[in-house]
């Protein structure tokens, strides 16, 4: 399949790149690295995302070129769908993206059922950024400083700073190679992890008050409501990283973050330690992800939702 993907890249002239809603570092870093590589090959390339780029990722090279509205998407020769386990994850443009003649999916989610004929899927990979790194090395692409910076940011964020179980030898070798190519670990980390606005810290202080421990302190959960966002002047993007906080508590096996998306709709983010497979919990609610990191959306009142989720956790 790699040969077919390389042939599509070689033959195509106009490329569209997109990723999932609520962008994270892996999605953005991967998009931007691919964008720069294709531009270097002389291709016409556009990145179109439904959601705006979070402030702490706008430093990434070429981030200013991302657009959020695009006409006649079907005109593109090739469409890359990155870091998505299903096409609907790209949001409102998914129907138009589906009309592109050649679609290529690059993803590492275990819940990906293979919605594209051309695809690179590896659930054991740390990130989509690592998969793109492999592809670019296979292509002997020019690994510029800007490409290395974007790929390093992608791998860094999806491994939790190289702390998650998905971090393996190849991941660290790739990161080292990217640093050799010009990626600056300190500069990248400072921009991503040490550039929070005051509103995020104020929001966090309020969300921590919702912390609940269950199952003899083996599970921990927190809740972010629209009212808290409104009261603190924070934005949804400022909840990035909140899920990792209850996970740091000693003895916790599963951490959960409930984020209100609508009047009676919540996104549930799940993180686990060791071999506890939270993807199985997310799948019960039509979600997905990885063994130690998964998510889903659930409708209902928050207390009723939490009861349903705890039943699934106890069953696991």
Q: What is the pLDDT of residues 79-118, one digit of tens each?
A: 999 999 999 999 999 999 999 999 999 999 988 989 999 9
Give the tens place of pLDDT for each residue, 60-80: 999 999 999 999 998 999 999
- Residue 313 has what pLDDT? 95
Q: In the prediction, which pLDDT does 88 show?
A: 94
**Domain limits, the chain:** 2-193, 198-315
Both tokens assigned to 248: 């740091």
In the block, residue with structure tokens 């919540």: 266
Q: How confident is the model at residue 51 (pLDDT cuts 50, 70, 90)?
A: very high
Three-state DSSP at 265 gives strand
β-pair type (118-121, 265-272): unpaired
Q: Which of 54, 59, 50 is nearest to 87 (CA)?
A: 50
Residues 90, 83: Cα–Cα separation, whole Å: 10
Look at residue 264 in the predicted model and tell me its pLDDT. 93
Q: How confident is the model at residue 43 (pLDDT cuts 50, 70, 90)?
A: very high
Average pLDDT taken over every residue of the chain: 96
Q: From CA 242, how far away is CA 169, in angstroms rounded?
A: 28
Kindly report, residue by residue over 163-204, the tens digit of the pLDDT: 988 899 999 999 999 999 999 999 999 999 999 999 999 999
Predicted local distance difference test score (pLDDT) of residue 302: 97
**What distance in Å separates the CA atoms of residue 191 and residue 55, rounded to the nearest whole number?**
10
CATH classification (class only), 198-315: alpha beta
Q: How far is CA 288 from CA 86, 160, 244, 291, in A?
A: 10, 18, 18, 9
Mean pLDDT in residue range 142-163: 97
Model pTM? 0.90
Model confidence at 281: pLDDT above 90: yes
Indicate if the pLDDT at residue 216 is higher than 90: yes
Quick one: average pLDDT of 223-235?
97
pLDDT at 316: 84
Residue burial 97-130, b: 16+ Cβ < 10 Å; e: rest:
bbebebbbbbbbbbbbeebbebbbbeeebbbbbb
Residue 1 pLDDT: 85
- The Cα–Cα gap between 274 and 125 comes to 17
2-193 folds as: inorganic pyrophosphatase (n-terminal core) (3.90.1640)
Band of residue 275 on the pLDDT scale cut at 50, 70, 90:
confident
């Amino acid at each position: 399949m790699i040969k077919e993907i390389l042939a599509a890249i070689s033959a195509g002239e106009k490329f569209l790149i997109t990723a999932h809603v609520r962008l994270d570092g892996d999605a953005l870093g991967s998009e931007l690295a691919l964008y720069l590589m294709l531009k270097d090959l002389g291709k016409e390339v556009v990145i179109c995302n439904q959601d705006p780029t979070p402030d702490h990722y706008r430093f990434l090279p070429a981030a200013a070129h991302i657009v959020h509205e695009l006409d006649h998407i079907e005109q593109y020769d090739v469409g890359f769908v990155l870091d998505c386990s299903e096409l609907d994850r790209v949001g409102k443009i998914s129907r138009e993206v589906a009309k592109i003649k050649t679609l290529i999916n690059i993803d590492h989610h275990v819940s990906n059922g293979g919605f594209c004929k051309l695809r690179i899927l590896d659930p054991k990979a740390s990130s989509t950024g690592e998969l793109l790194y492999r592809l670019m090395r296979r292509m002997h692409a020019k690994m510029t400083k800007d490409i290395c910076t974007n790929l390093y940011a992608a791998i860094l964020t999806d491994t939790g700073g190289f702390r998650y179980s998905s971090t393996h030898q190849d991941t660290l070798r790739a990161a080292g190679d990217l640093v050799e190519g010009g990626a600056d670990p300190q500069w990248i980390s400072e921009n991503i992890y040490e550039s929070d606005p005051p509103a995020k810290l104020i929001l966090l202080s309020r969300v921590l008050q919702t912390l609940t421990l269950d199952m003899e302190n083996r599970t921990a959960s927190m809740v972010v409501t629209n009212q808290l966002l409104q009261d603190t002047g924070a934005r949804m993007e400022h909840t990035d990283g909140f899920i990792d906080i209850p996970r740091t508590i000693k003895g916790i096996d599963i951490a959960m973050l409930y984020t209100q998306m609508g009047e009676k709709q919540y996104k549930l983010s799940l993180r686990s330690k060791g071999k506890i497979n939270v993807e199985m919990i997310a799948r019960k609610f039509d979600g997905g992800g990885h063994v130690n990191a998964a998510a889903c959306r659930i409708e209902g009142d928050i207390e009723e939702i939490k009861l349903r989720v705890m039943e699934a956790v106890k069953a696991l």
